Chains A and B, each alone.
Chain A
Amino acid sequence: ETGVTQTPRHLVMGMTNKKSLKCEQHLGHNAMYWYKQSAKKPLELMFVYSLEERVENNSVPSRFSPECPNSSHLFLHLHTLQPEDSALYLCASSQEGGGTGELFFGEGSRLTVL
């Protein structure tokens, strides 16, 4: 139990579907992150929400849309994905501006796009 919970753990979707990944952190942190990990590739930072400000990796395509309604919840909305988007999507949280800055990761949501 890491304090960061991701659902669903596994998701299979077609290219025309719309789905969402959910992340919830129970650690009282003020920053949350989405990472993508494709097979045999390093972790790729996608989005950061920190102190209600959003930072994004400019290489992330618009078919990925993050939403952070409050400091404890983070969503990744998915629409018209491509097979190459199949990957492990990891959520993390941290306490910025006074904490140690370490990231706490969830177990990930494994996405398969058919």
Chain B
Amino acid sequence: DAKTTQPPSMDCAEGRAANLPCNHSTISGNEYVYWYRQIHSQGPQYIIHGLKNNETNEMASLIITEDRKSSTLILPHATLRDTAVYYCIVRVARGGTGANNLFFGTGTRLTVIP
């Protein structure tokens, strides 16, 4: 069963911020939120992850609500190369490799428009 829900598609103007939402209302206390993206026919690429605090790296920012039931991935200045499918998954980061912990879902197809 899917543990996350995401909109199937979004558009974003080039140079603007892209805000990708994810709902994970059944997240457990020891589960992290991970974001990956997959550019057409390539392997998925790790973007960022977090537990409960907001996180930022060179690629994106991750905002997690206080109740941890949802999160938003922010690409601050979207470029055409950010066009991809973005996956939000929840999993245990330490020692949990059971199949149920690694479900990717259908993701959000982000299209950056010139």
Which residue numbers of A lie inside 8 Å of B, CB to CB?
2, 4, 31, 33, 42-43, 45, 48, 50, 55-57, 88, 90, 92, 94, 96-108, 110
Contact = CB atoms under 8 A, between A and B. Distances in A.
B98 A43 contact: no
B97 A55 contact: yes
**Taking each of B41, B43, B94, B103, which has the highest tally of chain A beta carbons within 10 Å of its own beta carbon?**
B43
Nearest to B92: A101
Interface of B: 32, 34, 36, 41-46, 49, 87, 91-99, 102-107
Given A42-B105, A42-B106, A101-B32, A107 B97 contact: no
A31 B44 CA distance: 17
A50 B107 contact: no
Nearest to B46: A102
19 contacts: A2-B43, A2-B45, A4-B43, A42-B106, A43-B87, A48-B97, A48-B98, A55-B97, A88-B41, A90-B43, A96-B94, A96-B97, A102-B34, A103-B44, A103-B46, A105-B43, A105-B45, A108-B41, A110-B41
Nearest to A97: B95
A108 B106 CA distance: 18
Q: Top 8 closest A-B pairs, CB basis?
A: A105-B43, A101-B93, A50-B97, A43-B104, A102-B46, A97-B95, A42-B106, A105-B44
